[in-house]
Amino acid sequence: MYMDPSKTRLCSRGFTLIEILVVISIIAILIGIILPALAKARESAREVKCRSNQRQIGIAIEAYGVDHKGRMPDSGSDGSWGDLATRGLAPYFPYTLQSVVKTGDFVWLCPTHDFQWTGYWNSSYGYNVQYMVEPGPDYPHSGWNGVKPVNPGGPVNPGILSSLIDKPSEKLVTIDITAPPGNSNLWTYVTRPGDTNNVDGFGRPDFRHSKRANVLFADSHVEQMDTSINDIAQEQRYWDPRKPQ
């Protein structure tokens, strides 16, 4: 069978340099479009996980209230060790230290929170303990004052009665936190806006989800809030459970 030599040469011709460069450019453009979308989808999944964590904490707080005559949790510390994650609300979760080390799945850890877990009970969420613990030597509390007893093993101030919280849909219970620079510990406590003391173990609100923070409110709903929730001018509205005087 006769074949036209010109057609044979046409079929065997390879790609030119320009064609290869065009293909590479198209692939690079597609990667540039896809990667940000994938990163956004990944962060969206982390945000969902974070909100789910705080909803679970909210459910545990409700169960705690049933067992403690309608009170919010205390600090979870007796002055020697422990906090809300390891003692106060620990009975309402199935985790153990061993399971956390093995799986890394811990309801108090946000997947977006960038810190190194060293084996201590570091937390991604801070409890509004300075307002949610009953009045003691001072109120609202400053640092550890009123949060744990002066003498280790002594009584811990109980949490306030949840029925006394004014506008529970606006009152902060837990919020995303991180440790201030230089602090080695990060427990389940957040410093209220009006407290200017830098107390090791108390976190600061962390707006790590697209410049917003996930917040658990006293009515158990979780909502993303911007930095205005941490303004001193908003302390009465979002942090202080008392009715305005």
Chain segment 51-71, per-residue pLDDT in tens: 999 999 999 999 999 999 999
* Inside any domain, residue 2: no
Question: Structure tokens of 201?
Answer: 């173990």
Residues of the chain with pLDDT under 70: 1-14, 37-41, 79-80, 96-105, 115-121, 150-153
**C-alpha closest to that of 44 among 224, 226, 198:** 224
* Inside any domain, residue 8: no
* Inside any domain, residue 5: no
Structural domains in the chain (count): 1
* Inside any domain, residue 1: no
Total-model pTM: 0.81
CB-based contacts of 156, cutoff 8 Å, min separation 6: 74, 75, 77, 78, 79, 148, 149
* Inside any domain, residue 245: no
Residue 143, domain extent = 17-238
* Inside any domain, residue 9: no
